[in-house]
Structure formats: structure tokens, C-alpha cells
Structure 1
Amino acid sequence: MTRLTLTQGDITRESADALVNAANSALLGGGGVDGAIHRRGGPAILEECRRLRASRFGGGLPTGRAVATTAGELNARWVIHTVGPVWSATEDRSGLLASCHRECLRVADELGARTVAFPAISTGVYGWPLDDAARIAVETVRDTPTAVEEIRFVLFDDRAYAAFARRIG
């Protein structure tokens, strides 16, 4: 059975088999979690992302999909990059946010990862309301069959931690 845990802090400081990166479709770094992972992980992550762009993902990684690279200098074996949806008040994109979590677990299983650390995907500049993102994330990982032994949500601040804590119970 998969164990769900929470911690508050910086995902780039976590130790896990795989760290999830809330990436943008370009896979070339950016702001928020994406920029932090690229900065702390070093150039090896960017080099692999460039190779992915030159081969399988010439148009960028589609929203809701996931792909793995090395973790570079991070305390992990892999980074699993996923592109979360931008929140919309007029269009239900919750299926795409759920897909991010399912796809990350699928990739983790392919890699043989036993511990996976997730940030609060899409809740930064993509504007997804924290309570709803927490609901979707927790329900999706609970409902997704996986060999991953521990799924850890690494939340940056008190508000995010509280939103996920309400869902995990």
C-alpha cells in the first residue's frame, strides 16, 4: 500500500527516488519550482531536456504528460517533468491536472522509483486554487495503482500545507 505524506519546504532539498517538476512545456527551465529544480540540479537536467526537445518533444511536452530526466545534483535519481494546466474559471481542466499525477506515477513505475516527491502542481503562476488542486492531487494518487511506496507532497508554505493536510486527513 502506498503511503501518503506531507512536508513543508523546498522540493529541491528533498531526498527521494524521483522529484516531480511542475515544468512548462518548453522543458527548458522557468520560474517557480521549474526554475528552482533547474538551478539546483545543474546543467545535466537542461542538457537532457534539450535532447528531449530535439527528439520526442519538438513541440514541447503536452499538458498532462510526464517525462523523466536525470536529477543532476539533486538528492534524487530522477526528475519527472510534468506540465500542469493553467486554471480557468470558464473551462474545466481538472482532468489535465489529474493526468499530471497519473502520468508521473506511470513514469515512476517504469523507472522503478519507490519514493516520489510532488509539489502542488499548477498552484503557482498557473493560478489553480489550492483547495481544489489538493483535492485533485490526493484523490488521483489514491486512485492510481502504483508500485511507488511513498508519495510525498512537498508544500512550499503554510497555506499549501494546510490545504493538502485537509485532504489527507
Structure 2
Amino acid sequence: MNLREADAVMHIIVNQFLTREFLVITPYNAQKELIANRLRDAIRKRYSQGESNVTVTFANERVHSVNTVQGQEADVIIFGAVQTSELGFLKNKRRMNVALTHAKDRLVVVAHMALFRNRRGRKCLLAALLRKMEKITPLVNSKQLSTGFRLDFKRIV
């Protein structure tokens, strides 16, 4: 589990995508449960304040592990890499392909970038994707998110 990453994913969902068609995909069941629990809490809070008509079961439908997301798509995919020091699951190209190819419109990757800049991490599929993304749009760090930062998507044709 990665608590800081779960916080970043929640910030992104609640502030930008709660009313959009989105899926959260993460490699590990423990991280999936952590994010789903936090999303349920956020939905309960908004619902009790009259700010949302989304029910708590929404969290179960929108947060998945790579193994449970098969066959689903969404406008927005938020992928949480979890790892900060070892690649683990992220080395498996086939499973990473499944995780990263379900977005119809936008892919948001939440990851510890230092892992993908070191010698071991640079060779994985996600690192190659992040290097290409970095050329198109600036990366955002978690400190920026905590100040109310909103992700800015530019259409690249």
C-alpha cells in the first residue's frame, strides 16, 4: 500500500472526475481496497452535505485491480503504480498493457517518478510511457495537488 499515492488519487477523483466516467486501476488488492474505502468515505461526506447523488456502491464499481478490470473501459483512467523502490508487478509487460489501455479519452498516472528514473526502473513499459508523457505535459507532484491544483489536459492530435 502507498498512503500518499492513495491521497493523490482521491484528490484527483474528488476534485475533477467524480461526475465523469472514470476507473481507478492499481496493481495490488490492498491499494484497491484503500482507495475504494477512501472514495466511499468521500462520497458519504458529499452525499450527507447534499453535494452528490452518487451512492457508496459507486466506489466498488470504479476502483479495480489490474486483475478485475478486464473488459472495462472509461473516459478517464487513473492508474496508481504504488511502488516506490522496487518494480514488482510493474515489470510484467502484459499486465501493464492491460492496466494502461482502458482509457477512451484520458490517462492519469500517479507514480513515484524517482523509481522510473533509476537504472532498473527506466527499462519497464510504464517508464517509457511516462517519458513520452513528460514531453507532452508537465508532471505534477503531490505538493501541487494539495494546494488545489487541477490537472490540465491538452488535446494532442
Question: TM class, shorter-chain normalised?
Answer: 0.3 to 0.5
- Larger Cα-atom Rg: 2
Higher normalized strand content (fraction of residues): 1
Greater percentage in helix = 2
